[in-house]
Structure 1
Amino acid sequence: MSVERATIAFAGLMVLLSVALTIWINDNFIWFTVFIGANLLQSAYTQFCPAAIILCKIGFQSEAQLATAEH
Protein backbone atom coordinates (compact mmCIF):
# COMPACT_ATOMS: atom_id res chain seq x y z
CA MET A 1 0.00 0.00 0.00
CA SER A 2 1.31 3.43 -0.90
CA VAL A 3 1.70 6.29 1.56
CA GLU A 4 -0.99 8.24 -0.32
CA ARG A 5 -3.55 5.47 0.08
CA ALA A 6 -2.51 4.82 3.68
CA THR A 7 -2.95 8.51 4.48
CA ILE A 8 -6.46 8.53 3.03
CA ALA A 9 -7.34 5.36 4.94
CA PHE A 10 -5.93 6.84 8.16
CA ALA A 11 -7.90 10.08 7.69
CA GLY A 12 -11.10 8.12 7.10
CA LEU A 13 -10.49 6.02 10.20
CA MET A 14 -9.87 9.13 12.30
CA VAL A 15 -13.07 10.80 11.05
CA LEU A 16 -15.12 7.71 11.89
CA LEU A 17 -13.45 7.44 15.30
CA SER A 18 -14.07 11.10 16.10
CA VAL A 19 -17.74 10.83 15.11
CA ALA A 20 -18.15 7.73 17.29
CA LEU A 21 -16.47 9.51 20.22
CA THR A 22 -18.76 12.50 19.69
CA ILE A 23 -21.87 10.33 19.71
CA TRP A 24 -20.99 7.96 22.54
CA ILE A 25 -18.53 9.78 24.81
CA ASN A 26 -18.77 13.57 24.71
CA ASP A 27 -20.05 16.22 22.30
CA ASN A 28 -16.76 18.10 22.52
CA PHE A 29 -15.06 15.42 20.41
CA ILE A 30 -16.66 17.20 17.45
CA TRP A 31 -13.62 19.49 17.61
CA PHE A 32 -11.44 16.48 16.79
CA THR A 33 -13.49 16.04 13.61
CA VAL A 34 -13.09 19.75 12.82
CA PHE A 35 -9.32 19.47 13.32
CA ILE A 36 -9.12 16.49 10.95
CA GLY A 37 -11.12 18.34 8.29
CA ALA A 38 -8.96 21.46 8.63
CA ASN A 39 -5.81 19.34 8.37
CA LEU A 40 -7.12 17.67 5.21
CA LEU A 41 -7.87 21.06 3.64
CA GLN A 42 -4.49 22.57 4.48
CA SER A 43 -2.64 19.49 3.24
CA ALA A 44 -4.49 19.71 -0.08
CA TYR A 45 -3.09 23.21 -0.61
CA THR A 46 0.32 23.02 1.07
CA GLN A 47 1.29 19.38 0.39
CA PHE A 48 2.32 19.16 4.07
CA CYS A 49 0.75 16.26 5.96
CA PRO A 50 2.16 15.12 9.32
CA ALA A 51 0.46 11.73 8.97
CA ALA A 52 2.16 11.12 5.61
CA ILE A 53 5.54 12.02 7.11
CA ILE A 54 5.04 9.52 9.92
CA LEU A 55 3.84 6.83 7.51
CA CYS A 56 6.95 7.36 5.36
CA LYS A 57 9.17 7.00 8.42
CA ILE A 58 7.60 3.67 9.30
CA GLY A 59 8.24 2.30 5.83
CA PHE A 60 5.44 3.21 3.43
CA GLN A 61 6.54 4.25 -0.06
CA SER A 62 4.97 6.78 -2.40
CA GLU A 63 3.08 5.79 -5.54
CA ALA A 64 6.06 7.01 -7.61
CA GLN A 65 8.53 4.91 -5.63
CA LEU A 66 6.32 1.83 -5.97
CA ALA A 67 5.94 2.42 -9.71
CA THR A 68 9.69 2.62 -10.29
CA ALA A 69 10.32 -0.41 -8.08
CA GLU A 70 8.02 -2.54 -10.22
CA HIS A 71 10.06 -2.00 -13.40
Structure 2
Amino acid sequence: MTVNEGLRAMAGFFVLLSLALGTWVHPGWYLFTAFVGFNLLQSAFTRWCPAMAILKRIGFREESPREKASA
Protein backbone atom coordinates (compact mmCIF):
# COMPACT_ATOMS: atom_id res chain seq x y z
CA MET A 1 0.00 0.00 0.00
CA THR A 2 1.32 3.43 -0.87
CA VAL A 3 1.41 6.51 1.36
CA ASN A 4 -1.35 8.08 -0.71
CA GLU A 5 -3.64 5.07 -0.33
CA GLY A 6 -2.84 4.81 3.37
CA LEU A 7 -3.66 8.47 3.87
CA ARG A 8 -7.05 8.07 2.21
CA ALA A 9 -7.81 4.97 4.26
CA MET A 10 -6.79 6.72 7.49
CA ALA A 11 -8.90 9.81 6.74
CA GLY A 12 -11.93 7.70 5.84
CA PHE A 13 -11.58 5.63 9.01
CA PHE A 14 -11.29 8.73 11.21
CA VAL A 15 -14.30 10.39 9.59
CA LEU A 16 -16.48 7.30 10.09
CA LEU A 17 -15.21 6.79 13.65
CA SER A 18 -15.81 10.40 14.65
CA LEU A 19 -19.30 10.36 13.12
CA ALA A 20 -20.15 7.23 15.11
CA LEU A 21 -18.72 8.72 18.32
CA GLY A 22 -20.60 11.96 17.71
CA THR A 23 -23.84 10.06 17.26
CA TRP A 24 -23.55 7.58 20.12
CA VAL A 25 -21.19 9.18 22.66
CA HIS A 26 -21.10 12.99 22.50
CA PRO A 27 -21.73 15.57 19.76
CA GLY A 28 -18.35 17.16 20.53
CA TRP A 29 -16.76 14.40 18.43
CA TYR A 30 -18.08 16.14 15.33
CA LEU A 31 -15.29 18.67 15.84
CA PHE A 32 -12.84 15.87 15.09
CA THR A 33 -14.69 15.25 11.82
CA ALA A 34 -14.23 18.93 10.98
CA PHE A 35 -10.53 18.72 11.89
CA VAL A 36 -10.00 15.80 9.49
CA GLY A 37 -11.83 17.67 6.74
CA PHE A 38 -9.76 20.80 7.34
CA ASN A 39 -6.54 18.76 7.17
CA LEU A 40 -7.63 17.22 3.87
CA LEU A 41 -8.44 20.64 2.47
CA GLN A 42 -5.18 22.27 3.53
CA SER A 43 -3.12 19.33 2.25
CA ALA A 44 -4.71 19.75 -1.19
CA PHE A 45 -3.19 23.23 -1.39
CA THR A 46 0.08 22.77 0.52
CA ARG A 47 0.84 19.17 -0.54
CA TRP A 48 1.86 18.50 3.09
CA CYS A 49 0.10 16.41 5.70
CA PRO A 50 1.44 15.29 9.10
CA ALA A 51 -0.09 11.84 8.61
CA MET A 52 2.04 11.29 5.49
CA ALA A 53 5.23 11.64 7.55
CA ILE A 54 3.89 9.08 10.02
CA LEU A 55 2.92 6.63 7.28
CA LYS A 56 6.36 6.94 5.64
CA ARG A 57 8.04 6.34 8.99
CA ILE A 58 6.09 3.13 9.62
CA GLY A 59 6.98 1.72 6.23
CA PHE A 60 4.40 2.72 3.63
CA ARG A 61 6.03 3.09 0.24
CA GLU A 62 5.85 6.16 -1.94
CA GLU A 63 4.43 5.95 -5.44
CA SER A 64 6.92 5.33 -8.20
CA PRO A 65 6.80 7.58 -11.30
CA ARG A 66 5.47 4.61 -13.30
CA GLU A 67 2.53 4.15 -10.87
CA LYS A 68 1.67 7.85 -11.15
CA ALA A 69 1.63 7.67 -14.96
CA SER A 70 -0.79 4.74 -15.04
CA ALA A 71 -3.27 6.36 -12.63
Using structure 1 for the length normalisation, give the TM-score. Answer: 0.88
The yes-or-no answer on 1:12 pairing with 2:2 is no
Q: Superposition RMSD on alpha carbons, in Å? A: 1.4
1:64–1:19: structure 2 CA closer, same or farther, 3 Å change rule? same
SS at match of 1:19: helix
TM-score by length of 2: 0.88
Percent identical among aligned pairs is 48
| Structure 1 gap segments, 5+ residues each | none
CA displacement at 1:19 relative to structure 2: 0.1
User: What is the total number of aligned residue pairs between the two structures?
Assistant: 67
Displacement after TM superposition at 1:66 (Å): 8.3
Q: Secondary structure at the match of 2:52?
A: helix
Unaligned runs of 5+ in 2: none
Structure 1 runs (4+) greater than 4 angstroms displaced: none
